[in-house]
A = this chain, B = another copy of it.
Amino acid sequence: MPAAHQPSPVPLTVDRVAQICSERGVKFTALRRIAFEALLEFNGPVGAYDLIRALQRRLGKPVGPPTAYRALEFLQENGFVTRIETRNAFLPSTHPEDPATGAFFLCNHCGATLEMDLTELEAEFASRAAKVGFRVGRRVVELQGTCADCQETTSAAEGQSQVVKGGRG
């Protein structure tokens, strides 16, 4: 599911990922590198099966789902890729240091993703969590709607309802 992607901060490069892996003592294998490269070439969130097809093209041989999911798992664990829950898709990260800190605007029209920094909201989340004794790990914040470009283009009467018709949107 390729889609327009409007990168917010600086994108992560393959070299930077290789460097971080080396620093962390984890293995940036050929497959993982190719998977990450493939993700970068899509401009936007990538479905697992789109990635599988991309890997097949690059490797010239069949690639099973577990192979792709394992690469994705590695990339997520290390903060190089973020899963976009409301799209069942994966997006290269911009800040491998603090993987749980991002939030996303997702355009229902063009598929654009726009990341924002959540650090200012952390305190609010933390205080609410503290009130109920909850210990927070992963944070998923995805705001769906209409991006600036699509508001100009369309009559813009859509994208505001809770359910966007078509399912998980």
A164 is an interface residue with CB less than 8 A from chain B: yes
A114 is an interface residue with CB less than 8 A from chain B: yes
Chain B residues with Cβ under 8 A from A164's Cβ?
Answer: 137-138
A30 is an interface residue with CB less than 8 A from chain B: no
Q: How far is the CA of A148 from the CA of B131 in the complex (A)?
A: 10
Contact residues, A152-169 vs B (CB, 8 A): 156, 159-165, 167-169
Copies of this protein in the assembly total 2
Chain B residues with Cβ under 8 A from A41's Cβ?
Answer: none
Closest to A141 in B: B141
Q: How far is the CA of A135 from the CA of B142 in the complex (A)?
A: 13
15 A-B residue pairs with CB within 8 Å? A76-B163, A77-B162, A85-B140, A105-B134, A108-B137, A116-B132, A132-B148, A133-B148, A134-B145, A135-B146, A136-B144, A137-B160, A137-B161, A138-B162, A141-B141
